[in-house]
Amino acid sequence: MNLDFTAWTPHPQRDALLAEIHARPFRAINTPARFIRFAFLTTAEGTTAARNRVAELCVAAGEQPPGAMTKHHRATLPGVEGLPLEMTYEQHGEFITFDFAFEGLAEPFSPAAGQIAHLLPDIGEPGQHIVSVDLSLVPAGTDFTQPFDPTSLAASSVRHGAGVIASDFRTDSAGFVRWLVVNDALDDNAAGALCQRVIEIETYRTLALLGLPEATRLGPPTAHIEHELAEISTAMSQSEGTSDDTAFLMRLTQLASDLEADVAASSYRFAATRAYDGIVAERLRAVGEESVGNYPTITSFLTRRSAPAMRTCRAMEARQGDLSKKLARSANLLRTRVDVVIEHQNSELLSAMNKRSSTQLRLQQTVEGLSVAAISYYVVSLLTYGYKAMEDAGWPVDPTLATGISVPVVLLAIWYLVRRIRNRHSED
């Protein structure tokens, strides 16, 4: 019997997992070319609206629309001023991107991005606009220094001199960050891959910096918590009782609650910042930079300008973690002190209860003895009346002698009865 693997039940995610590696393929591009990218921070509702808008544009252009769960879609749309236009839509974790590519523009950044942008198809506003990139891919011999500010120009030779990438990381009048790629010896596939990596470097570089405002915002409240903790720690050594320790513990609990609220609000942003910064580093390594003249490489420029922001985010994250541990230690110390005091009070209370129980036992024994005597007295008195009645009735009874004989018998009987009653109550 032959193996029929086609009859196997596939994992429901198998096709998606196999397709993931090809989800964002590089695009072969002829030189010269122009790329425009927009990125938006968005929500699930914004992503759905953006995908629906892409579907409308594709249907209008006679192209295949994206599926309901498509995260990457590429389509050719009517050209801009006679130039073929290719649109690429990508969905990421918290943002989406729209890339527009067209070939045939040899002059760097001409026309300006602001003049091209309004000719692009209307993609709406699917979220908060965060990135605008204008990249020109130009042929060999183009002066890469001419379009940029020389005071902030960074440039790198890539692929062992096969190309040059350059940018001054400044925005033009329309808000686009401009990048120039000079193609000396790159084929169409390598040129397309390089342009995509450069655009991703700019995108993720910007997104990584979103952690800096969060770290700046958290500075004052974190410093306040640190100051409060220092005051409480100093006062703890001078506290004079459980009331003080309880008050300190309540303050520490409130500080810990405030800190955890800040940590919960910032943990995702700091984690995303680390991830985006890691992607930028990976893309730069993939580019394979070498220095060009006396200009700083892209890596050295970003290290000098962006690395302090990344360190600030990491420092704030570490500061929050360290402060959380300090608050936990201080709270545990106070709880221990309060517990020791309470245990001491409980011990004194138990000792006092033992003393009271001993006193009550002695009183009970005293009362028990008195009650035996009193009851015996009344019983003997009753018996005396009985003896006297018997004597009057002619019985040969001496009331005095009979009373004397009855006293020890009555005492023993009453004592035994009282003891039985007490033992029964003790068993109950």
Tens-place pLDDT, residues 12-41: 887 777 766 666 677 888 999 999 999 999
Q: Which of 316, 348, 380 is the last residue of a domain?
A: 348
Q: Which of 313, 348, 383 is the last residue of a domain?
A: 348
Residues of the chain with pLDDT under 50: none
3: in domain: no
The Cα-based distances of 49 to 64, 73, 203, 253 in angstroms read 17, 15, 22, 44
The pLDDT value recorded for residue 51 is: 93
136: in domain: yes
Q: Give tens-digit pLDDT for 307-335.
A: 899 999 999 999 999 999 998 888 888 77
Does residue 344 sit in the same domain as residue 421? no
31: in domain: yes
11: in domain: no
Does residue 420 sit in the same domain as residue 289? no
Q: Which of 153, 187, 221 is the last residue of a domain?
A: 187
Q: Give tens-digit pLDDT for 163-174.
A: 999 999 999 988
The residues, ordered by sequence, that sit 6+ positions from 290 with a Cβ below 8 Å of its Cβ are 156, 157, 158, 160, 161, 297
341: in domain: yes
Does residue 70 sit in the same domain as residue 172? yes
For residue 136, give its domain range. Answer: 26-187
195: in domain: no
Does residue 33 sit in the same domain as residue 167? yes
303: in domain: yes
290: in domain: yes
Does residue 312 sit in the same domain as residue 404? no
The pLDDT value recorded for residue 241 is: 63
Does residue 135 sit in the same domain as residue 259? no
Does residue 173 sit in the same domain as residue 281? no
User: Is this structure's pTM higher than 0.85?
Assistant: no
Q: Name the domain count of the chain.
A: 3
Sheet holding 128-139, edge to edge: 72-80, 83-91, 95-103, 33-41, 128-139, 177-183, 163-167, 154-158, 289-291
Q: Give tens-digit pLDDT for 116-164.
A: 877 788 898 999 999 999 999 999 989 999 999 999 999 999 988 899 9
Residue 407 CB neighbours (<10 A): 14
Does residue 64 sit in the same domain as residue 177? yes
Does residue 131 sit in the same domain as residue 60? yes
Does residue 311 sit in the same domain as residue 410? no
Does residue 232 sit in the same domain as residue 329? yes
Does residue 321 sit in the same domain as residue 394? no
